[in-house]
Amino acid sequence: MFNIYHQPYTRGRYPTVAANGVVATGNNLAAAAGLQIMREGGNAIDAAIATAATLTVVEPTANGIGSDAFAIVWYKDAMYGLNSSGCAPMEISIEKLKEQGITEMPKHGWTPVTVPGAPKAWAELSRRFGKLPFAQVLAPAITYARDGYPVPPDLTRMWKMAVRSYTDKKDDPVFAQWFQTFTFQGMAPEVGQLVKLPDHAKTLEKIAETQAAALYEGELAQRIEEDSIAHGGYLRKKDLQQHKAIWVDPVSVHYHGYDVWELPPNGQGIVALMALNILKEFQFAQRDEEMFHHQFEAMKMAFADGLHHITDAQYMKTGVQSLLHAAYGRERSREIEAFAKQPAVHMPPKSGTVYLCTADSEGNMVSFIQSNYMGFGSGVVVKDTGIALQNRGHDFSLNRNHVNALVPGKRTYHTIIPGFLTRNGKAVGPFGVMGGYMQPQGHVQVVMNMIDFHLNPQQALDAPRWQWVKDKKFIIEDSFDTNIARKLQERGHQLQVDLETAGFGRGQIIVRLDNGTFMAGSESRTDSSIACW
């Protein structure tokens, strides 16, 4: 599958290889935490939980205890999907918000807060597939929160951006706990500064002791309700009590000899599959303007369909399989012409997310993603708990006729998506690329890099990326081939170089080779690490 030694990109490094286990994520301490649990006798699922919990501590700019989570698990030669995204509170409604003069869902504060699903995902994964006690698996995260960790460079950059963006909220009591928890004398931490999160540690201990029940039924649930009421929020203990992590069947399309798997809606994974379902009608010999033009057009079509149809599966009027049907992909592929076309879609917002993947010597693998959305999420931290809450409700529409209209108890369109590859019924491995609406675009790019151009996992991640923004506008990395960019512009694509590489997503990939060993890649655009043995 891979051309191991050819290094076409100056940013690149060689892939990591290992035999006994691999943990790949965007933070070295979190990867080490997962490997620690694996070496204590845990499997890939235990390692994924430990890594995910640790990421809430060591990368709070992108996720937290108040996050949602999704997972694809390959366990004993079978695939499982888990959706632990939270619903809108039962107390909220379009009518109530409009009575307050709210015409679109806000980004920050209590209004866009939905039920946090990540801790329930950890507990459910542990219950079904874990080998070690849940408390043991969460121990590394608790230690880092209590004893502290040094802040790496890219995390410092993201933290400083967040502090600047919250400047106008420093006197608002709704955000007081955020400033108390995540700023130090009013500032973001510097590189190497030791950060301790004692309230976060205590909350993780309660989650560990109760298999997350404290957050959904007990003391922490009560604190969340009290804080919500105090600040005019809609989230209540009953919403937390009703939350369930749902086991789902992943969906796939066959692309040039491989099966590419995503989770079904409410996640946007099928956007990547719809694009690949179009692109599989073509053969690409090289990464030239013809290939990029087809990628651009297929992605715009996929988003046009996805943003029109995707929401909570219970509310979708169009079936997933009809959107992924091979005949539909062929039909859409015939619409691609020589020049750029105008799609009818909304401009995607930016986001903040963490992704991780793990693999163990038994062949078990996990593709796991969790997020607070838009960096620190809602900007709300529950008093004395360290729980930073997500703002997923921002993606709801207040138009009653919109497919993703706000409804009490409904799950919103969700950007975070884990991916997985198989071939002939056997696992190839997990992959993911973080970054809001960049995620399906990143999935398409790394999958095609590996399958069509035989790049190894590290090369597939290092290759220059593009991102569709709106209309005919795309942003490209500064490493993107200038000659190809010029030819794409001649086809009517509007290209702009963006020097902010983190905006192009952050990814990880693990593949299992035919001899049972592993090859992995991790994002070169940010603080990123692979731990293995």
Give the pLDDT of residue 342: 85
pLDDT of residue 12 exceeding 60, the answer is: no
Q: Is residue 18 part of a domain?
A: no
Q: 139 and 44, same structural domain? A: yes
Q: 205 and 91, same structural domain? A: yes
Q: 180 and 111, same structural domain? A: yes
Q: 262 and 215, same structural domain? A: no
Give the pLDDT of residue 84: 98
Host domain of residue 94: 27-244+370-403
In the predicted model, what is the mean pLDDT of residues 77-85?
97
Local confidence band at 9 (pLDDT 50, 70, 90 cut-offs):
low
Please list the residues that pair with 248 across neighbouring strands: 81
Spatial distance between the Cα atoms of 527 and 30, rounded to a whole number of angstroms: 11
Place of tokens 């366990």: 75
Q: Is residue 130 part of a domain?
A: yes
- What percent of the chain has a predicted confidence (pLDDT) above 70? 96
Q: 299 and 234, same structural domain? A: no
DSSP state of 236: -
The 3-class SS string of 473-518 reads EEEECCCCCHHHHHHHHHCCCEEEECCCHHHHCCEEEEEECCCCCE
Question: How many structural domains compose the chain?
Answer: 2
Q: Is residue 185 part of a domain?
A: yes
Give the pLDDT of residue 343: 80
Residue 443: φ, ψ to 5°: -60, -45
Judge whether 25 and 51 are in contact, CB under 8 Å. yes
Q: β-strand 21-25 against 149-150: which pairing, if any?
A: unpaired
pLDDT of residue 386 exceeding 70, the answer is: yes
The model's pLDDT over 331-357, given as tens digits with 9 standing for 90+, comes to 999 999 999 998 844 334 445 688 999
The model's pLDDT over 202-211, given as tens digits with 9 standing for 90+, comes to 999 999 999 9
The model's pLDDT over 211-221, given as tens digits with 9 standing for 90+, comes to 999 999 999 99
Report pTM. Answer: 0.94
Q: 295 and 175, same structural domain? A: no
In the predicted model, what is the mean pLDDT of residues 264-276?
95
Q: Is residue 84 part of a domain?
A: yes
Q: 250 and 236, same structural domain? A: no
Q: 101 and 200, same structural domain? A: yes
Q: Is residue 111 part of a domain?
A: yes
Burial code of 124-149, b = ≥16 C-beta within 10 A, e = fewer? bbbeebbbbebbbbbbbbbbbbbebb
Q: Is residue 3 part of a domain?
A: no
Query: CB within 8 A of 283, min separation 6: which ones?
Result: none
In the predicted model, what is the mean pLDDT of residues 478-503?
91
Q: 331 and 468, same structural domain? A: yes
Give the pLDDT of residue 501: 62
Local confidence band at 7 (pLDDT 50, 70, 90 cut-offs):
low
Q: 398 and 265, same structural domain? A: no
Give the pLDDT of residue 513: 95
Q: 168 and 148, same structural domain? A: yes
Q: 49 and 67, same structural domain? A: yes
- What percent of the chain has a predicted confidence (pLDDT) above 90? 88
Give the pLDDT of residue 351: 54
Q: What are the catalytic residues?
A: 353
Find the CATH number of the domain harbouring 433. Answer: 1.10.246.130
Please list the residues that pair with 499 across neighbouring strands: none
Mean of all residue pLDDT scores within the chain = 93
- More confident site: 95 or 498: 95
The 3-class SS string of 410-451 reads CCCCECCCCEEEEECCEEEEEEEECCHHHHHHHHHHHHHHHH
Kindly report which listed range (127-131, 286-290, 419-423, 526-530) carries the lowest average pLDDT score.
Answer: 526-530
- More confident site: 73 or 350: 73
pLDDT of residue 486 exceeding 90, the answer is: yes
Give the pLDDT of residue 349: 46
Please name the helix (run of DSSP H) or strand (run of DSSP E) that holds residue 49, with its range, or none.
Answer: helix 44-58
Give the pLDDT of residue 502: 62
The model's pLDDT over 435-476, given as tens digits with 9 standing for 90+, comes to 888 999 999 999 999 999 999 999 999 999 999 999 999 999
In the predicted model, what is the mean pLDDT of residues 479-492?
96
Judge whether 213 and 383 are in contact, CB under 8 Å. no
Q: How far apart are the first and last CA of the chain?
A: 23
DSSP state of 168: G
